[in-house]
Structure 1
Amino acid sequence: MIISKNNNRKKIEKKLLVFSMCSILAISLVGCGSKNAGDGDKNKASGPSLVNELKSEKLIGLQAALLKFTTAEKAGSVASVSLEEKEIPVKTEKQDEAEEAKTEKKYIYTLEVISKKGLSQTMTIDAKTGDILTKTENGPASADLKANLLDFVPVMDVDEAAQLAAKASTKNYTQVLSYQLFAKNGKNVFSFKLYDGDAKNAETVLVDAISGKILTKADLEASQTSSTDKTTSTSSSDTASGSDSTGSTNQTNQE
């Protein structure tokens, strides 16, 4: 009886040990396999999320990037700012001229701006270090550029806008490949490129940067038409007023 009890106890202990090992292994597999668990789910992409990069503070924020420009130029206006991953040449002290230039992928802010002197500039900023990489002078700012400048006071948070864009995605994409904030005919607009991990397969979603409303290209064209009609109407009104004034003057002279 004693031997039988000992055997039963050993069997139970073995079963508990096996169960414990299986439980640990299962937890480990869940933890290590979480990236593969959603392979069949379109909403879970394997590629990096730009917004997640921003959340983790690996990249400087939009306001910090703009501050780099205003500090460097002492003043100025911004027409657009974009953030995307680019291949950037790696500078080395000793590099053979015949040797192919090395590159590395970096997130880069690109700003289209007007300097204090009224010159159009393109500025690129390293989104990780905040260093200004290039500053290109494009000549005097055009009338179109001056007419489409960003007003940052009412602009919504980029992460909030990205979430709205993802909800509006017709392909159920939730990963942000790149984004641009620009002004068009009195509207501040976010343009998000969403994807599922394959950069070649991207979807562009436009979001009103003030209201969060999803926009189409037609909406931007409509605002342009509305703006043109308003200008034409004002001009016509001014012309009519001028005619009335002229008529009154002539009548007075005749009297």
Structure 2
Amino acid sequence: MAVQPAPKITRRKLSDEVFDRLYEMVESGQYKPGDTLPSERELMDRYGVGRPAIREAMQTLERIGLVEINHGQRPKVLQPTAMGLMSQIDLTARHMLASSSQSLEQLKEARTFFELGMVEKAIGQASVADIAHLRELLEQQCGHLNGDAQAFIEIDMAFHTAIAGITRNPIFIATSQSMLGWLARFHASLLHWEGNEDITLLEHAKIIDCIEQGDKAAAVEEMRKHLERARLLYCLNS
């Protein structure tokens, strides 16, 4: 049996080595959110590397949301957030959706599953202020009924994200904003159809009523019908 050649060992870039060390310092808590990292000169002296390696490592830390870099200031360690996490995959997600119709269909399926889960979880957690906020968004949508279609879409997205917000879970909120943003970017018709705005407003009103009444089964059913109508309209117009 022939022996397969072992993969060659490649030398790593200096910036990768610097990144690993800086990442370890942040991950271990040596530098906490709000702290500033050492200056470029200090890091150059500490690691025995040039300025390009330091800057490239810092740029990588910035891209993954661990530090903030402002001209003339030392990099500052950031508090990781759910939105920061989602923003890191935003460009990759857009590319995936743009290049694969199957991925878009999978995203639509995931959105339906997510929305039903969010409205179910919102039952029993919605405060008076939460209900008032949902009704305020509905009123804002009514104001754009025969006007700015883009504004109508944006408030529609805000309505669904507000339901996720009732859970007080920042990961749910970030996920809602990201999924709706991706859908709106590639298929705005998934969120809005001219001539069907009145139906959308009526469905939103029913969902709010169910949340306010604490009727979990009815809320899930109204959301299901709302999303199913949207799916069918999309199919008819695609």
Please, what TM-score do these two structures have when normalized by structure 2? 0.22
Query: Which structure has the greater CA radius of gyration?
Result: 1
Structure with more relative contact order (C-alpha pairs < 8 Å, separation 6 or more):
2
Greater strand proportion: 1
TM-score of the superposition, structure 1-length normalised? Answer: 0.21
